[in-house]
Structure 1
Amino acid sequence: MNLHFTKNTNTATFLSRQVANSIPFSSNKVADTFNRFSVKPGSMEADIIQSTIEECEKTGIKGEEKYCATSLESMVDFSTSKLGKDVQVISTEVGKETQMQKYTIVPGVKKVGSDKSVVCHKQNYVYAVFYCHATETTQAYMVPLEGADGTKAKAVAVCHTNTSEWNPKHLAFQVLKVKPGTVPVCHFLPEDHVVWASK
């Protein structure tokens, strides 16, 4: 399959929990956030901040618990509160940015953890914010890949086994030409996304 693993240009790092908690993360107080980071209202950066906050404030779909972690400590706390303390954490490891190329799955695909996991996706924001969601209908796999140029990679694949509550207009259904709830939907995760799985 042809895959393109790119390095995310969003290099924002986590703030400590104490500092992150002192900064409003709410659409009601977005003007305070703009002031704090000298962001001009109406600018592209302001739109990104507002969009991330609004996405975090939306209600999750049925069967999904969602949370936006604004510090590493809050991500750990949310994930372990859903899975217990005996967890493993995995992410895609490519090593270098690659151009679009053909990858072959090589032997050694491993299922990671149970069917319950927490997947955290890095958001565009002025500091590191991860959109995390916990579901009981997700299976994670570590998939060894080899590129046509000999590049080796380990990619995390996540399979959603129940998509019946997803928006019928979701891109996955358009690409796969299937309807919600009919088949599992699997995808690879970029390098800066993290899967927490119970052992």
Structure 2
Amino acid sequence: MLFLKKSLHVGTVLPEGTMFARAEAPKSNHFSVPLESKYLATILSHFKIPDDSMKAKQVADTLRSCGEQGKKKEPHMCFSSREAMARFATRALGVSRTRAAITRIHGHETPNSMYVVEHITQVSNNVVPCRPMDFPYEVFYCHRPKEVQSLTVQIKGLKDSMPYVTATVICHMNTSGWDKQYFQLLGGERGEPICHYMPHNYIMFY
């Protein structure tokens, strides 16, 4: 889902097999503990997750990411409540009210789907993206990145020209501190803007 910003324009063909749908965690949460690593055993026991399973590792990784409050300069936090998530975004953006943008899928996706960019609209440079984490119930990781630009991209089918996706895109405008593997993968130069599409179960506040 990563690409160089300079490659995004009307007529850009997305790689074959690009899909915006993602599996969603159950939204209902009748069990709640702080999202901290010291509660890992309690969570695994409650949801009957084997200690040595891949799912247990994913839950541990999520708790670790959510607990690293002091390791990043940008505001960030995890939430199991969408209302709390919206309140955090309002504070982090310094506004009285936020709007939410999500990627919307209008057609039916298949692994053979071929898309082409039809229209691009700039949205905001002041955003809080929230991504779902691997967890037994819905948990989002939200942060307030610096030097970004968000866009809405209308995507249609390459063969039938039917509208298929209204995609939210975030571009990181200063990538000078990124690992060199990204530039090797994309064929770009260190520091140049890199963007990514947000799957349909991500939320961006602006």
Structure 2 runs not aligned, ≥5 long: 1-12
RMSD after superposition: 2.3
Closer, same or farther: CA 172–60 of 1 in aligned 2, 3 Å: farther
> Once the 2 structures are TM-superposed, how far is the Cα of residue 61 of structure 1 from its aligned partner?
7.1
Counterpart in the other structure of 2:122: 111
Aligned pair partner of 2:113 in 101, 114, 118: 101
Alignment of 1:35-50 (within 5 A): 35-50=45-60
- Alignment: residue pair count: 188
8 A contact 1:140–1:156 mirrored in 2: yes
> Once the 2 structures are TM-superposed, how far is the Cα of residue 41 of structure 1 from its aligned partner?
1.4
8 A contact 1:122–1:192 mirrored in 2: yes
- What percent identity do the matched residue pairs reach? 28
Q: TM-score, normalised by structure 2?
A: 0.80
Aligned residue type for 1:64: E
Counterpart in the other structure of 1:191: 200
Counterpart in the other structure of 2:77: 67
8 A contact 2:104–2:166 mirrored in 1: yes
1:154 aligns with 2:166: yes
Q: Counterparts of 1:63 and 1:174 in 2: how far apart (Å)?
A: 27
Q: Deviations over 1:108-157 (max 9, x none)?
A: x21113x1110111111101111111023111111111112334111111
1:85 aligns with 2:99: no
Q: Counterparts of 1:127 and 1:62 in 2: how far apart (Å)?
A: 25
Alignment of 1:110-149 (within 5 A): 110-113=121-124, 115-148=125-158, 149=160
Q: TM-score, normalised by structure 1?
A: 0.83
Q: Counterparts of 2:90 and 2:80 in 1: how far apart (Å)?
A: 16
Closer, same or farther: CA 91–151 of 1 in aligned 2, 3 Å: same
Larger relative contact order (Cα-Cα within 8 Å, sequence gap ≥ 6) = 2
Which has the higher mean CA deviation after the structures are superposed, 171-180 or 32-41? 171-180
8 A contact 1:5–1:94 mirrored in 2: no
Aligned residue type for 1:164: S
> Helix, strand or coil for the counterpart of 2:105?
coil
